[in-house]
A and B are shown apart, each in its own frame.
Chain A
């Protein structure tokens, strides 16, 4: 339950913060979710990773699909040297997810550290 909540909250919160903060706001999301929702550190990481990856990946897909993948094809070729838009979306999801997930791990670690003292 906490796990699922973490997934959903991190997806929603990263959308909300992203409206007015730069990309690293997903790390704030990770820190907050990690800190306040008690679960195993690794689950915290995984939940936030999944939540933010879903949000970034699906949002990228939604935008790209409406664009007939014109931009994604070009940028995929530029950045990953392969004309596969889907790879660019997966990269996007991964980068958002790892940044936020690692932050969640840190947030949880901090919570554990402070609680035991």
Chain B
């Protein structure tokens, strides 16, 4: 009996170790996870935690002091700039380590290593897109340049100095949840981060969808649904600006009509992953001649997926050479959007297409040769080794051609037409040292410095805005943009003929720009950079409506103050609805509506056109418009099972405004001939069903419908780490671009007076720790459209009230 009792109890013990200490039975090992001395309780940061400490660092050149203010923004004071980057690396790791590593794991296609086989397709997609290859090119370029290499080396040392202090109890909670340990940081990881950012901002493509659409619709209808330029375009560079004409006109290859524009075979590719096409931004800078202070004001708000931890980390770098303040990317040294004593700088996405596909014919299944210019050309083979948690490594062979990696072939996403393969030509693969631009902008003093700095930037194309204390203001759309003949790269191109390759790049000096224009301001909002007189073919994904609101507002402003600029960033005016509502009102058959339908018509017609949180009109308007859009287009687009891109909303609005007999109005699936009035009326009836459902769930008010949510980076699986139900306004096409989980990720208004007056906010907090009160403490301020006054610190401020903690970094003796 004693033996039995002992044996049974021993077995129970073993079972407890197995159940509570491994992930085999429960998804998390509760023993380790809840242990008070090493588990999650150690992540519960005391509300009055003292962040002051002394740290000894190897290879530091001198003493570095970091003053943390009440919002936990570090103000780094170092003599030597590389020391500043060293400590920046340390602080990024201290507050954001898991995020930094997660983002670079995602970039490198390594998520399967800790989430298992559910990420295999994602990882393969990243690898086959050439993300690692692109990061290697970037690293090469960055390390060729001495000052960039020194900055990166220092930054990497800082990250690793912090990692080496960690024991299990100190690990960020996500490591404890997922069960892995951080690796050493490297310059290569910083390079990977730049490529993840590039993918986010210049990774959107629609070549396959356009190819399908062209085949389905024919050339004329394709032009109607996917026009190059919106009638209502308010370009970045004002209409009427003269452009230098290129020396020679680019013409398509002689056979383009038959093998490119009118191809009639079928492509079967389903692209599973795409960056969010809403990734964009607003920026504008107004001249001192229009401001109350007489000095320029620069404003910028980048729109990205809203996430916790935030993509941004606020920081000040004070060195002998410069004193910059703004937001940084955890993963890179320097300030990315911000200002210094003399200038301010910011960015919006250019949205230009810099990503094309070429159809490749391999000699055989070994993928070692492909047909090019009349002969078999050798393809390099790159073997991607994907580690998968809980299973064997997966080896994936990717062929590299003269264009770039063959992303899709028989083994990936192309099972139906196995003999066809598609290579990717993407500017992100080319060597370029984009970090150098930021390192130079941090220390730029005037327009010439800015202009020199942005010349280093190749991808992702940006509208780079600038203003200086001396009064200059400028905007350049800058990057390496391919030179294309008209129509080149809209569709999948033949890969056997070098005449379809890009013809180089548009000379950088001919990229659209405005320097001190007489209008007294420059602005951009992801719209097409120039009107049709710009002499190059520049396809892309462009927004139309935010720019209209911004430009109209700026045109009418005088004596501008920082408060005016804040109000503009939070402007909820719906210019699209202003243009579209009259159309709905005009065509709806009022006599055919029931009581509910009439009620929603009345709500839409009495709406003040503001996407304010409590407005029901905006919800009703969009439900109605979306129904109309579906009524008109979906019968036509659903004729094929191939993926297509939805025509932009401006396309329908402008078509109907010009022509009430627009050829797509009729529903091809019904016997009768629908006209616009019938479609508008039927759309309201359909919308009413949806709106009644929303009303019964109390979701008719815009903010309740939109339910603004800042997700944790692990999305729905860590929903308790998110902030949901934020009641704010805005929307797609609105200056306040806040959608459900996407929007202004940093709002900044800089008045370049002396001293500088700076205001900003982002929807997150400085700490990446869900157990810290600094995790999401800016969100409420952000949601209300309010700003923090930034503490731009100088040497004499070390005893200022704002300084709450001090960290001292000293060289190891």
Q: Which residues of A contact B (CB under 8 A)?
A: 15, 18-19, 22-24, 27, 41, 55-56, 59-60, 63-64, 66-68, 70-75, 77-79, 83, 88, 91-92, 95-96, 98-99, 102-103, 105-106, 109-110, 112-113, 116
Contact = CB atoms under 8 A, between A and B. Distances in A.
B37 A18 contact: yes
Interface stretch (B512-520, B663-671, B765-773): B765-773
B12 interface: yes
Given A70-B773, A79-B28, A96-B36, 5 more contacts: A23-B21, A64-B44, A70-B772, A79-B33, A109-B2
A110 B6 contact: yes
A99 B636 CA distance: 64
Nearest to B722: A74
Interface in B615-666: none
A106 B44 contact: no
B43 interface: yes
The 7 closest A-B pairs by CB, nearest first: A71-B771, A23-B35, A77-B720, A67-B44, A18-B37, A71-B44, A109-B6
Nearest to B10: A106
Contact of B44 (A72, A98, A109): A72
B31 A59 contact: no
B44 A103 contact: no
A27 B44 contact: no
Interface residues of B, number: 43
A101 B36 CA distance: 17
A95 B42 CA distance: 17
A113 B3 contact: yes
Contact of B39 (A23, A24, A83): A23
B45 interface: yes
A60 B41 contact: yes
24 contacts: A22-B168, A24-B31, A27-B16, A27-B17, A55-B36, A56-B34, A63-B41, A66-B44, A66-B48, A67-B45, A67-B46, A68-B773, A70-B771, A74-B771, A92-B34, A95-B20, A95-B30, A95-B31, A96-B31, A96-B36, A103-B13, A106-B6, A106-B10, A112-B6
B38 to A, nearest CB: 6
Given A18-B37, A95-B20, A96-B35, A75 B720 contact: yes
B6 A113 contact: yes
Contacts of A78: 718-721
B380 to A, nearest CB: 45
Contacts of B10: 106, 109
Nearest to B16: A99
Contacts of B79: none
B777 to A, nearest CB: 10
B781 interface: no
Contacts of A55: 36
Contacts of A66: 44, 46-48
A63 B37 CA distance: 10
B3 to A, nearest CB: 7
A108 B718 CA distance: 42
B292 interface: no
B802 interface: no
Contact of B47 (A68, A72, A99, A110): A68
Given A19-B37, A63-B44, A99 B31 contact: yes
A92 B13 CA distance: 17
B40 interface: yes
Contacts of B396: none
A41 B5 CA distance: 10
B17 A113 contact: no
Contacts of A71: 40-41, 43-45, 173, 770-771
Contacts of A19: 37
Contact of A106 (B13, B47, B168, B773): B13
B36 A24 contact: no
B61 to A, nearest CB: 36
B41 A92 contact: yes
Interface string B710-734: 0000000011110000000000000
Contacts of A79: 28, 30, 33
A102 B12 contact: yes
Interface string B37-72: 111111111111000000000000000000000000
